Structure 1
Amino acid sequence: MRTDEQRGDGPRRAAQYFGRPAFRRMLAAVWRKYASLGRIGGKAVVPDLSPDECEAIGEFFGWNLRPGDTAEIPLTLFETELRDSAFAIGILDLHQVLEGRPLLAKSEQRSLRDEAWRRFLLAARESTGTVASSVAAEWLSRLEQGCGAGLPALRELYKADPEEALSSLRVVVRVLDFLFAGAGRPIRLPVLAARISGDAHALDAGHPAGRMLLAVLRERADMEDGVASTGGGDAASELGAGDSREEEDGSGTLKLRELYRRFGILDDDLSSIVHWYVPVPDEPAMPRVWTLRQVEAAERIPRCSSLYVVENPAVFSTIVDAAGPVVMDGDPPALICTSGPASAAAIRWMQRALEYSGDGCKLYYSGDFDIKGLSMARTLAGLFPERFAPWRFDSESYLTAIRSLPGPAFDGGELSRLANMVVEWDRSLCAVMREVGRKVHQEALVEDLVRDFCETGGFA
């Protein structure tokens, strides 16, 4: 019979005994089974036992186990053996001793999480004080109802860092008050972020407050446009950021920019640039570099017969080098360099040029025969479906170049992407590239590109 001293010493001895690594998997299975059932019942299953596990489990239960066996442990038996042992404790007591917290059923865990979430939202409501704008007030109310825009981002942050979640929530409320109950003057995004939070990057799209703000603004835009909103969405899906084509070029940036501007938030319009060249009679061939600000501020973009778009600066410069005096009448062609994935400035320049030049103006794109080049072409084809045309960017051009100037080999990941990619203008191109297995850089085609542009441009 156990003495009072032995019973009092049970938890310490149980911690030493069951704290061994050989019991780790068995106890984890026991905790899971209890949590799923919400009671002491069922069996905890431990497959493919190691020699140490066989010895430890077999010693406690008096079983003869062999390495590789599966142990099935009835929780009622484990509870009985524990209480009748020298430890004199049960399963719930053992969890408290080893883990330092109660063992809860899943329903209890959910209840505690729900209660903690309610307390968090209450603290958020109290900490924001008087909300000046109806937009911010409505958003807080919808979060409390479990359907507010940006809710996934807030919940994700709350799980990782409740204090940071509360801080980010307060930032968004203050921003909404500024935008919808303030003076209404346009303001640059980093300036707004610094004014509200002291951190100029707090509203960047990759930061929690920035993600929540984007979701709220998208919801407001949809409401104003009469578009049904599912509520609770995150900025990534609502703004189309999941589209692989937009991830590698400036079209997604333009969408974000248009959304910000709609609500009086100005973005960076200086870092985004475009290189362009339009031949002018009696003037030397000199390309220009414009920022997004200049593209939008220009009263007009030169009227063009066609737009030729290249991906690489060396190709762009080589074509400009070959351009002589203009001898043709009528609108000249334009040459544009995206310098890799197209920036917002490049896409906006194309949009304005096509609008000003009329329906007869086509956009011809030439890029590297690789994943990024294909993605860029798909984006332009999607943005300008009636105007886009490949410029020596098809299966025939690829196979011609690969015979004389093969480029680097595709790696395994690139080949997998090619297997799942189809381009609209040449549905066999990706399959051909995957079969050959090598890239072709645009520079390998530069002589043909020079000849095409010069003939179209009517150079002497």
Structure 2
Amino acid sequence: MTRLLGGEALAGLRQRLRRRYEQGLAVGDTGTLRLSGLNETEHAALAALLGRPARQRSSVQIELAAVDRALDAAGIAPTLRVALELLDGPITDRAAQRERIQEGWQGVARSCDAPLRGWIEQPHGLGLVKRLSRQDTDVATILCRAAAAVLQRLPAQGIPRAQLAAQALGDAHALDDGRPVAALVIAVLRQRAGEAKVVVSDADDTATERRRDTWAGAGVLVNELARPALCLNLPGAAPAGQPAYLSLRSLVRTPVAWPVRARDIHVCENPNLLAIAADSLGARCAPLVCTEGMPGAAQRTLLRQLAEVGARLHYHGDFDWPGLAIANHVLRAFGARPWRFTAADYLACLPAATRPGSVLTGDRVTACWDSTLTATMEQHRVAIPEEAVADTLLPDLVPRA
């Protein structure tokens, strides 16, 4: 056998023959193989194997049954496949292997309850499970069962994430950021909420806030006392005339039935503006909510609650690029309308806005609500902080009789 097919000179030929078996040529297959591009040594080896004259040809067709009979009759090996395995080791049937792997992943899906099973059977869901389990179906089954145990307890009523993890999985840290079960649960929750993009391993501040917001939407608290939402004269929130802070904990655990349907709720970016409104108007000020920059989980939860009961949200922020980015988010996420935040409003504020340090810098942001605002700001290159236009905004906060 070594004399017929062995040695370095025929290693390439043996690999070509092995690949045909690896590609799905089953054990006992009596079909044919056609090989082309053979060198003189390879032609001679095949000719000797088949008992033919060693003539150079452009291609050679091998009858597998004849080769198997010749090898068996010579006492070399019962089949060509066995001969190749004796020379270079076992041959893996790649097609059968792929079929087994596919069946394994189908088994992972079948091990889940109906809602989670439907998600895993989608390409993006299965892809995420494969990545989180590192292509190990046994690990994937464990992850999916753990995720199902968590999802069965959701939505919750303001349960801390660590408590949920301890109760559902027996490990208070099993749902911490970066843990695979947490990533899987977050992905399912986002799909249920209609979010298209799934983020698995992001670690910046924005991604952390986004994960916290997703948990909050399911009634799960993460760092529940961090960065509460600031508001003024919001019905049901605090005594009139006094700024109030609403923690994520209170918003999720004891949500208020906000009596603001069809009411105008103004939203600002900077707490200084809310303080100015409190000092100037006190209890007369219309309801005002502050995002304090890009809204965090508490701010987003409050704005979402207000929007869901039918409040009309009106947003104003800084006339600079970060201010436009925040406004884009608030308008798109919560259906808010711009509040004196157009190109015309920007131009009206310019005469009194030019001060040292007010030069517009950074990367441009396109305002989704006004196609001319970005170009107008680029033309004048002046940044206008929200506090600088307080005199323009305060009259809007005086309720009309």
TM-score, normalisation: structure 2: 0.58
Q: Report the CA distance between 1:202 and its aligned residue.
A: 3.5
Change (3 A) 1:158 1:114: farther
Q: Report the CA distance between 1:168 and its aligned residue.
A: 0.8
Match for residue 391 of structure 1? 340
Q: Report the CA distance between 1:198 and its aligned residue.
A: 4.5
Looking at structure 1, the residues matched to 148 and 307 of structure 2 have their Cα atoms a distance apart, in angstroms, of: 41
Check if 1:116 corresponds to 2:116: no
Residues 201-246 of structure 1: per-residue CA shift (max 9 Å, x gap): 4346865434544566x6xxxxxxxxxxxxxxxx5586315399xx
Check if 1:76 corresponds to 2:36: yes
Secondary structure, counterpart of 2:302 in structure 1: helix
Q: Report the CA distance between 1:363 and its aligned residue.
A: 1.8
Residue 364 (structure 1) aligned to one of 280, 304, 315 = 315
Structure 1: 5+ residue stretches without partners: 19-27, 40-73, 129-135, 219-234
Looking at structure 2, the residues matched to 81 and 251 of structure 1 have their Cα atoms a distance apart, in angstroms, of: 65
Residues 348-384 of structure 1: per-residue CA shift (max 9 Å, x gap): 434556788x86x6523213532x5334323332355
Looking at structure 2, the residues matched to 205 and 326 of structure 1 have their Cα atoms a distance apart, in angstroms, of: 43
CA contact 2:315–2:331 (8 Å) conserved in 1 = no
Q: Report the CA distance between 1:139 and its aligned residue.
A: 5.9
Match for residue 427 of structure 1? 371
Q: Report the CA distance between 1:317 and its aligned residue.
A: 2.4
Residues 295-351 of structure 1: per-residue CA shift (max 9 Å, x gap): 453757698985443334xxx226625854548xx8413443322221232234345
Match for residue 249 of structure 2? 293
Match for residue 392 of structure 2? 452
Residue identity in the other structure for 1:373 = G
CA contact 2:315–2:327 (8 Å) conserved in 1 = no
Residue identity in the other structure for 2:164 = L
Change (3 A) 1:382 1:114: same
Q: Report the CA distance between 1:292 and its aligned residue.
A: 1.8
Change (3 A) 1:119 1:332: closer
Query: After the TM superposition, which residues 43-442 of structure 1 pair with which residues of structure 2 at under 5 Å, given as runs?
Result: 76-78=36-38, 81-82=41-42, 84=44, 102=91, 109-119=94-104, 136-138=112-114, 146=121, 150-158=125-133, 160-175=135-150, 179=153, 187-203=159-175, 207-213=179-185, 235-236=190-191, 239-242=194-197, 257-258=216-217, 260-261=218-219, 266-268=220-222, 269-271=224-226, 273-278=228-233, 287-295=243-251, 297=254, 307-312=265-270, 316-317=271-272, 320=275, 324=279, 326=281, 331-350=284-303, 363-370=314-321, 372-385=322-335, 388-394=337-343, 397=346, 400=350, 405-410=358-363, 418=365, 423-424=368-369, 426-432=370-376, 436=379, 441=383
Structure with greater Cα Rg: 2
CA contact 2:233–2:240 (8 Å) conserved in 1 = no
Looking at structure 1, the residues matched to 268 and 173 of structure 2 have their Cα atoms a distance apart, in angstroms, of: 33
Match for residue 43 of structure 1? none
What fraction of aligned residue pairs are identical, expressed as a percent? 19
Residues 265-311 of structure 1: per-residue CA shift (max 9 Å, x gap): x333433521223499xx99863332123345375769898544333
CA contact 1:249–1:376 (8 Å) conserved in 2 = no
Looking at structure 1, the residues matched to 251 and 131 of structure 2 have their Cα atoms a distance apart, in angstroms, of: 39
Secondary structure, counterpart of 1:379 in structure 2: helix
Change (3 A) 1:403 1:38: farther
CA contact 1:365–1:391 (8 Å) conserved in 2 = yes
Structure 2: 5+ residue stretches without partners: 26-33, 50-80, 200-205
Looking at structure 1, the residues matched to 308 and 115 of structure 2 have their Cα atoms a distance apart, in angstroms, of: 39
Q: How many residues align?
A: 340
Change (3 A) 1:407 1:96: farther
TM-score, normalisation: structure 1: 0.52
Change (3 A) 1:352 1:208: closer
Secondary structure, counterpart of 2:360 in structure 1: coil
Residues 245-269 of structure 1: per-residue CA shift (max 9 Å, x gap): xx789788656544x34xxxx3334
CA contact 1:153–1:208 (8 Å) conserved in 2 = no
Looking at structure 1, the residues matched to 95 and 325 of structure 2 have their Cα atoms a distance apart, in angstroms, of: 44
Match for residue 75 of structure 2? none
Residues 77-126 of structure 1: per-residue CA shift (max 9 Å, x gap): 147654658xx99xx99x999x9885x7xxx645422212324665897x
